[in-house]
Amino acid sequence: MQLDIKNSYAHDLPELSKECLPFGFQKSEILIKNYELAEELGFSKDFLDSEKCLNIFSGNGLFENSTPISQAYSGHQFGQFNPNLGDGRAILLGEIENLDIQLKGIGQTPFSRRGDGKSALSPVLREYIVSEFMHSAGIPSTRSLLALKTNETVIRETEQSGGILARVAKSHIRIGTFEFAAMQGIGILKKLADYSIRRHYPDLENTNEKYLQFFAEVCKSQTKLVSKWMNIGFVHGVMNTDNVTISGETIDYGPCAFMDNYDPKTVFSSIDVAGRYCYANQPAILVWNLSKLAETLIPLIDDEEQKSIEKLTEVLQQIMPSYEKYYYSAMGKKLGIDPISQNNINLVKSYLQILESNSIDFTLSFRDLAKVFNKTKNIEDSVFANLDDFKRWHEDWKTQIISENTNLKNITRKMDLTNPCYIPRNHIIENVLENAVNGDMSLANEILDLYKDPFSENDNNEFFKNPSKKNVPYVTYCGT
């Protein structure tokens, strides 16, 4: 199969990557194939089912004209700067349809340091499932093309089955990439900025102050992204600057998870002992991370450093007001109250306070609220049963909806199109991973099919809808 694979990053920015060949896993098998994404990339079904496809994505062959590389980057990890990171277990094969095709868990690279460059199968499947859910839920994300089992073991705390993820992204350029480039000098920094603009924000190429405008666009993309995370109860878990993309896509699903009961302090990562990246802190960390990008861009903005700082600071100061606009607008739609007004913002805040004080499931609450509104469920049968504070709020909410709408019949439908019924529940994902590692992919395939349309409720899928009955704190681990 002839594909037009390009290597623009490798060719245009050789200072920011190193060529390396994938480590070939000889006994690999493909467990999951994303035929829909493959079609978007120009892959035929026959190719995806072929031996050639297996060879390429298990590291035993290459696309014609491919220049495989691992990318260099730095990063602030839990607030501490690490100048020398880079792709320690990932190789970029090139770009197809202007999208990166990357193999993750494919073996050692020049940036592996003391690591083996491999991945266990469980984190590969977790990223596949969660990233595809995010895409279906309308949240910008890297995508998953294939999940492979290497049929070789990797050594972590124990021996585990190995896996490879074929990841697709608008690009893998991170804030950490700019941090690394800035250390190489203004020439390389400018090359990276120009490349990023050309690839992601081409409308800016001929504008005045294009680097400042570029920074503003990255801020906008990331602000929208984090507001979407917050509106679905997603906790990324490791918002280091090397995990923040210039394109505004969610990347690196290591210790991520979704809230069950609403609690702003929710944290899942085993290494985030101080709660730096807890649910409630994500907007503040957004600003912090973007300030690190701003620091790298100072030499490109103005000839006078102080003027550069002032201009970048002005953009940074707009992030939180923009975030609140996106966040409350989306939260209002989740509650069926569209216009942004102080009254509606107060309704949102009061609603979340009820969820928190009564430990109510975040996802189910919105679905039950819609059912209460259209009278397909009584309050006593909902997650709000026996809550006097909810009943008082409910009356104010109904009054507001009636005042805003002449046609009330579509309210529930609009709410259900905004509020997923199914999310990657933590206990369900663990069941899926345990079964898959033991050779049973049936539950993984079932859940992937369900997540293609997480907003449509099916009475036969109650198991996938509800939180775990075990009241045990959920802990996630980095897949390194």
3-state secondary structure of 2: coil
Distance (Å, whole) CA 268 – CA 285? 16
| Cα radius of gyration rounded to whole Å, the chain | 23
Distance (Å, whole) CA 69 – CA 131? 23
Dihedral sign of CA atoms 114, 116, 117, 121 in order? negative
Segment (H or E) for 71: strand 69-71
Helices marked H in 137-209 — which ranges?
175-184, 186-200
Distance (Å, whole) CA 240 – CA 251? 11
CA distances from 472 to 48, 135, 232, 278 (A): 41, 29, 21, 17
Distance (Å, whole) CA 322 – CA 316? 10
Asked about 242 being catalytic, the answer comes back as yes
Distance (Å, whole) CA 428 – CA 197? 40
Select which of 242, 252, 260, 272 is catalytic.
242
302: Cα within 13 Å, side-chain hemisphere:
10
Distance (Å, whole) CA 417 – CA 367? 10
Nearest to 139 by CA among 197, 211, 224: 224
Q: Given the structure tokens 């990008």, which residue do they identify?
A: 293
Distance (Å, whole) CA 109 – CA 322? 40
Q: Are 46 and 39 in contact (CB under 8 A)?
A: no
Burial grade of 473 (CB within 10 A; 0-12, 13-18, 19 or more) = exposed
Residue 197, both tokens: 């603009």
Q: Got the DSSP string for 278-307?
A: -GGGHHHHHHHHHHHHHHHHHHHH-SSHHH
Burial grade of 144 (CB within 10 A; 0-12, 13-18, 19 or more) = buried
Distance (Å, whole) CA 49 – CA 40? 16
The length of the chain, given as a count of residues: 480
Name the residues annotated as catalytic.
Answer: 242
